[in-house]
Amino acid sequence: MNPHEFDNPYVGLRPFESHESLLFYGRRQQIPELLQKLYDTRFLAVVGSSGSGKSSLIRAGLIPHLKAGFLVADRDKWRIVVMKPGNRPLYHLAEAINLTVFNTPDPKEHKRFYEHIQTAGIRAVIERLFLFFHETDANILILVDQFEEIFRFAHTNSQDEAADFVSIILSLSQTKDLPVYTVMTMRSDFIGDCDTFHLLPEAMNQSQYLVPKMTREQRRQAIEGPAAVRGKSIPEPLVQKLLNDSSSNPDQLPVLQHALMRTWDMWQSKNDSPLPDINHYESIGGVSAALSQHADEIYFSLNKQDQLIAEMLFKALTTQDDEGRGIRRNTLLQDLCEITGASFEKVVSILDQFRTPSCSFLVPASGVDLKPDSEIDISHESLMRVWQRLDDWVLQEAESAKRYLRLAETAELYKKEEADFLTDPELKIAETWQEENKPNKFWALRYHPGFDLSMQFLNDSIESRKAEMILARKNARNKNIFRFVIIAMIVLLGLSIFTAVQYQKVSKAREVAERALKNEAKARKIAEEALINVEKERQEANRQRNIALEQKNIAETQRNKVKKQLDEILQLKDTLNPLAAKQGRLYVKTIPDDATITIDTIKQSYSDGIKLDAGTYTIRITHKDYVQKKLKVNIKAGKEKQVSAVKLKPLPGKISISVIPYDAVVFLNAVKKGKGKLLLKDLKPGSYNVKLEKEGYEPVEKEIILGPNQTSTISERLIKYARLTILPKPADASIKIMNIRPVYTPGMYLLPGDYDIVISKKEFVSFKEKIKLDEGVDKKMPVELKPIQKDPEKYLTNKFGMKFVFIKPGEFVMGSPKNEPGRGSDEVQHTVKLTRGFYMQTTEVTQGQWEAIMGSNPSEFKGCGKDCPVENVSWNDAKDYIKKLSAKDGGTYRLPTEAEWEYAARAGTKTALYTGDINIIGDNNSPSLDPIAWYGGNSCVNYKGGADCSGWPSKQYKCSSCGTNPVAQKIPNSWGLHDMIGNVWEWCEDSYTKTLVNDVDPLINNDSGLRVIRGGSWSNDAGNCRSADRSRGGPGDRSNVLGLRLVFSRGQ
C-alpha cells in the first residue's frame, strides 16, 4: 500500500473502497437495513442526495458484510462487479462481467460479449453467467454506481440501448436460478426520471433505500474513528469546529473528508504538534474553502498553456442536464486528447496533477496507469459545486453547448431551405461564441453531429453580412460623389458671386465677371449632367467625376484670371472713395465667414476695405467655436491689402453618452470606448457613428454630425431581448412565428412584443396562440399537441375468434313510452349520455368460446352445438370467465353497463325493436320478432335435450321441443349486432334499481343484491323481447336462459 494512504486515514473526495472498511465510520448502523432489503428482493436501489455517501456506504459498508457471510450463510464467496453506465452502458456491463467474473482483460472478448448482448439481450448475459455458476458456488453482486448517468445517455445517445440496459439489470435479480444480486446508487434528484423506463418505478418502490442525512453524532464518528485506527485522536476543539462548519453544507461528507485529509497532511508536513489542531485546519481554508483552495493551488501551479488545457479537460468531464443539474461525464482519455488538441503525454501530465493521493479530484486514482482507452471522471459531483472555478466552467460549457445546438439546428433548417442566413444580433452572438470558444469537431460531436455544416453556415452568414456592408458602402460612396458634385457647384457659384460684387466697382470689371459667370454656368451644366449620369449608371461614376474635376479646374483658372484683373483694378485710384496720401485698404476673408476681426491699436471696427495708415498691424480673428488666430499685416500707401481664406482651427467637440444598462459597451466608429456613462472629448468636427450594445439587448446605433465646440448628448435605454424556448411534445413538431421573418430556433432572442405562434405536426391538432413577451423574460413554453382522434377500426377479432364492433359514443333516450306493448313500470324514459366509445361482441358468448377458456361447458343445451350461446352461467361465473380471458388474451374485457347494452341494442332507433314497432298477436306470437330474434314463439329445436314447450299458449310456430339456436342466424341491427333480442338473457355490470334518471356514463352499484339482465330469451313471450325490457337475477343464479355478451378494450 502507498505510504501516504497508510498514514492518512481520510480518503478525501473519492468514495471509500472495500479494503478501507476499517476506516469507514458513521453509517454502520444502516448496513443491516440494506442487507435485509437485498435479501428480500435481490435488488436494492440506494438513493440519496449528492454528497450523502451512497457509494461509500455500498463499497465500504455493504460489500464487506456480504463477503463476511451476513447475507447468505452457506455461500460467502462473492464476485463483485462494479460499473458505471457512462456513455456505453451495455459495453461497460460486458466489460465489468468479463473482468470480474471471468478474469478476461481482452478488449476483443469485451466487444464480442457486448455485441451478443445487443442482439440477444438478457439471454446473452444469463448464458454467460451460467458458465460461471456451473463451476463455482459463488454469488455475484452487480453494483451499478451513479445510475443517474443512464438518464443522460437515454436523452443524448440511445433510448433503446438505455432501456435494454435497465431491463437486463432488473431481470438479473428476478432470475431465480441465478444467485445474482443487483445494487444501484442514484442521486435523489433523478427520482422523477425513473418513469422513463418500463418497470423501473415499480422496482424502485419495492426496494428503495433512501440514505438519511448523518446526525451530529454520526459525523463525530466519521471524524474521530479513522484517526483512532491510526492510533491518533482529534482534539475536541477541532472536532467541534468541524461539526459546526459541516452541519449546513449539502456536500457535507465529501467536503468534510477532504478537509480532514488536508488537515492531516498539513499537520504531518509541519510536524509542529503531537496532534492535528485548529491551526492546521484553518491554514487549509476550513470546510468551506479547503477544496476550492486546494484545486486552485494545483491549477495555478500550471503554466498558462496547461491552464487552458486543464480548463478544457474539466469542461469535457462535466455538463448540465436539461434541468440545470450538474452531472459527471466520464470520457475516454483518447477523446480528451482530441477535444483539447493536446498530445497524449501532455494530457496525462495534467491529469496526474489532479489525481495525486493528496487530492484525488479525478479517477482513476493515483497509481493506475492511464491508457488511451482509460475512462477519466471527476471523483465526486461536489467538486462541481464547491470549486468555484469549475462551477463557472460548467455554466460556460452548458451555455456554449446551447449556442452550438442553436447554430446546428438553424444550419439544418437552412440546408432544407427553411431558414435564412443568421443576422445580427444572433450572428454577432454566434461569432463571439466562435471566437471565444474556438470549438473543434471532436468537442462538437458530443452535442450534435453537424459541426462542419454549422461552421460553414456561420462563415457563410458572416460573408453574407460582409457583402451587405460592401453594398452599403458602395451606396454611400455614390452619395459622396453626389455631395462632391453639389459642393463643386456651390464653390463655383460662390466664386461667381464674389467676382460679380467686385465687378460692380467698375464696368470693365463687370464685363470680365460676366464672361466668368458664363464659363461657370457652362461648368455647372456639365456637372449637373455628370450628376444625372451618376444616378443613372454607377459604372459611369468615375468618368463623370473626372469631367466634374476638369470643369472645376477650368472654373479655378477663370477665378485666378479674374483675381489678377481685380488686383490691377484695385491698384487704380478709387475715384469714389479716394485714399489719403499715406493710406491703404485692408480686405480679410475668413473661414468661417462669421468670425470677428479686430485690429490692435485702433478703435475703429473692421469692415471690408477699411482705410488704414501705412504701417504694420496685428489683426485678431476670433470665433466662439474656433481657436483664435493672430496675424501681422503690412499696409502700404495707395495699395489694397487682401488677406484671403484665413482658416480657423475648429475647437474639438464632445459626445456625452448615458446608457442603461450601465455596463453596455459604447463603440465610436466601430472602436470600443468603454461602458455605461461616458464623456468622449477632443473630437474633431465631423460625422460619427455611435453604437451601444450589450449581449442580450437590442443594440442602438446613432449617426451624429458633430460641429466645432459642440456637445452632442445621447441618452438611451437598451431594450433587453426576450428569450423564447418552446418545448413541444412531440419534440419534432414544426414551430413557426408567423409575424416575423427569422425562422424559430430554440432559445432565440426576440424584441418584447406580441408573437403569433403556430406549432404543428402531421396527425396532431395544430397549436395556435398569440403570446406576449415582456422585456428580459426567459420564457419556456411547454406545448403538448393532441393527436388527431382517428376513428377506431370498426371490427376487431381476438385470438379466440370472438368478433367485436366499435360503438361510437352518443346520447339517447333510455326506457319506453307509456303506450309501448309489454312495457314494465321500471322503464321510465330518461336521457343518457355515453362519452366513450366501446367495442361490443357481435354475438353472445358461444359454448365453444366458453369452453376454450374455462375447459368445461356448463350449458344444458349442449346438443345445440359449439356455435350456440353458452347458458346456465351466473353473473359470478361471467366475471370469472372475463378474468381468465383477459389474462390469456392480453386485452381487457368486461360486461356492458345496462346503458351501454340498451344504446347498442337500439342502434339509434326509438322504437320497441331495432326494426320498428312490435306487434303482439298472442303471448308467443309476434311476426315482427320472427326475423330478428329467437323467442317463445319460434325457438323450436330438433336436437336431443330440448325443453318441452308443447303447452305454451298461442305460439307462432307449433312444436313440442324448444331451446337455444346457433348465434348470428337472425338479422342484425344496423350496427352489426346479432341476437340482441332473444336466444338468452345477457348479464350486465350494473346492480338493479327500479328507478333510473338522467345521467352521463351511468353504472349502478348498490346493495340490492340483484344484477341486471337484458334482451329476453328463447323461452320468453313477445312482451319481454324488446330493447327497453328490464329484468334481474341474483349474482349466483344459473339457468338455461342466462348467458352473456362482452365489451372489449385494447388494454389497461
What's the pLDDT score for residue 131?
A: 78
Measured CA to CA, the distance from residue 356 to residue 250 in angstroms comes to: 25
| Cα 896 to Cα 339, 710, 900, 982, 1045, distances in angstroms | 65, 91, 6, 17, 8
What is the C-alpha separation between 9 and 257, in angstroms, rounded? Answer: 10
Reduced 3-state DSSP string for 666-705: EEECCEEEEECCEEEEEECCEEEEEEEECCCEECEEEEEE
Q: How far is CA 1027 from CA 893, 916, 932, 973, in A?
A: 23, 11, 12, 11
Distance CA 750, CA 696 (A): 9
Residue with cell 468661417: 592
Q: What is the pTM of this model?
A: 0.45
Give residue 536's pLDDT: 57
pLDDT band at 899 (very low <50, low <70, confident <90, very high): very high
Confidence of residue 443 (pLDDT cuts 50, 70, 90): confident
Mean pLDDT within 766-794: 87
Q: What is the tens place of the pLDDT at every residue in 506-543?
A: 344 445 444 544 554 554 555 455 445 545 555 555 56
pLDDT tens by residue, 300-332: 999 999 999 999 988 888 887 766 777 788 888
Residue, of 604 and 276, whose pLDDT is higher: 276
Give the pLDDT score at 538: 52
Of the candidates 470, 468, 471, the residue with the CA atom closest to the CA atom of residue 423:
468
Region 457-474: what's the mean pLDDT? 76
Element (H, E) at 128: helix 122-133
Task: Name the residue with higher pLDDT: 986 or 385.
Answer: 986
Residue 333 and residue 348 in contact, taking contact as beta carbons nearer than 8 Å? yes
Asked if the model's pLDDT at residue 823 lies above 90, the reply is: yes
Tens of pLDDT, residues 202-248: 888 888 999 888 888 888 898 888 888 888 889 988 888 888 887 66
- The predicted-structure confidence for 144-171, as pLDDT tens digits, reads as follows 998 988 988 888 788 889 999 999 999 8
User: For residue 182, what pLDDT is reported?
Assistant: 94
CA distances to 9, 696, 750, 1009 from 721, in Å? 54, 5, 5, 69
Q: How far apart are CA 311 and CA 288, in angstroms?
A: 22
Report the range out of 23-37, 277-291, 352-366, 812-826 with the highest average pLDDT.
812-826
Pairing of strands 1030-1033, 1011-1014: antiparallel
Residue entry with cell 424502485: 204
Q: Assess contact for 758 and 785: CB atoms under 8 A.
A: no
Average pLDDT over every residue of 76-86: 86
- pLDDT category at 438 given cuts 50, 70, 90 is confident
Beta carbons within 10 angstroms of residue 49's beta carbon: 17
Does residue 498 have a pLDDT over 50?
A: no
pLDDT digits (tens, 9 = 90+) for 98-107: 888 888 888 8
Q: Is pLDDT of 6 > 50?
A: no
pLDDT tens digits for range 634-643: 988 888 888 8
Q: With bands split at pLDDT 50, 70 and 90, how would you rate the model's confidence at 491?
A: very low
Q: Grid cell 459611369 — which residue?
A: 540
Q: What is the pLDDT of residues 995-1020, one digit of tens each?
A: 899 899 999 998 888 999 999 999 99
Amino acid at position 973, single letter: N
The per-residue pLDDT for 532 is 54
Asked which of 113-117, 473-477, 709-713, 931-935 is least confident by mean pLDDT, the reply is 473-477
Contact at 8 Å (CB) between 153 and 87?
yes
Contact 513, 499 (CB under 8 A): yes
- Three-state DSSP class for residue 66: helix
Residue-level pLDDT at 887: 92
Which of 201-210, 246-255, 445-454, 671-680 is least confident?
A: 246-255
Between 115 and 134, name the one with better pLDDT: 115
Average of per-residue pLDDT values in the chain? 84
pLDDT, residue 510, reads 46
The segment with the largest mean pLDDT, out of 234-248, 334-348, 468-482, 873-887, is 873-887
Phi, psi of 831 (to 5 degrees): -95, 135
Task: Give the SS3 label for residue 985.
Answer: strand
- Rounded CA separation 82/18 (Å): 12
